[in-house]
A and B are shown apart, each in its own frame.
Chain A
Amino acid sequence: MKSNLWNILKKELRELFRDKKSLAMMLIIPIFIPLIVLGMSALFEAQANKDVEEYNKIGFAYEMTDIEKEIANSMNIEIINGTEEELKQKYENSEIDLYITKDGNKYIINSDASDTSTYAKEYMGAYFDAYKQALQQQYLQENNIEPSEILNIITVEENVFEEDNFFASYIKNYAFLFIIMAITVSATYPSTDTTAGEKERGTLETLLTFPIKSRDIIIGKFLGVSLSSIITGLISLVLAIVSLVVAQDAFSIYEGMDIMFTPISIVFAIVVIIAYSIFISGLCISVASTSKTFKEAQSALTPLTFISFFPGMIAFMMGVVGTPLISIIPFLNYTVTFTDINAGNVDLLNIFLMFVSTIVYIAIVLAYIIKQYKSEKVLFSK
Chain B
Amino acid sequence: MHMVKVDNLKKKFVKYKNKKEKEEFYANNGISFEAKDGEIIGILGPNGAGKTTLLRMIAGILEPTEGTVSFDNLNYKNNEIEIKKNLAYLSGNTKLYDTLSTYELLRMCTDIYGVPKDVAEKRIKELSKILNMDSFLYNKIGNLSTGQTQRVNIARCLVHNPKYYILDEATTGLDIISSQIILDFIKQEKQKGKTILYSTHYMEEAENICDRVIMINKGAVINSGTPDKIKEDTKTTNLRDAFFAMIGGVSYEE
Contacts and interface: CB of A to CB of B under 8 A. Distances in A.
Nearest to A15: B99
Contacts of B98: 201
Contacts of B48: none
Interface string B49-92: 00000000001111100000000000000001111110111010
B104 A205 contact: no
A7 interface: yes
Interface in A14-65: 14-15, 18-19
B93 interface: yes
Given A14-B99, A379-B61, A209 B87 contact: yes
Interface residues on A, range: 20 to 34
Contact of A1 (B59, B62, B81, B97): B81
B221 to A, nearest CB: 22
Nearest to A4: B112
A293 B156 CA distance: 26
Contacts of A1: 81, 85, 114
B31 interface: no
Interface in A123-153: none
A15 B101 CA distance: 11
A213 B112 contact: no
Contacts of A208: 60-61
B95 A201 contact: yes
B35 interface: no
A4 B80 CA distance: 14
A371 to B, nearest CB: 11
The 8 closest A-B pairs by CB, nearest first: A202-B95, A211-B84, A209-B89, A18-B99, A211-B81, A211-B85, A206-B94, A208-B61
9 contacts: A7-B112, A10-B111, A11-B97, A201-B98, A203-B97, A205-B95, A209-B60, A210-B84, A376-B13
Interface of B: 13, 59-63, 80-85, 87-89, 91, 93-100, 104, 108-109, 111-114, 156
Interface of A: 1-2, 4, 7, 10-11, 14-15, 18-19, 201-203, 205-206, 208-213, 374, 376, 379
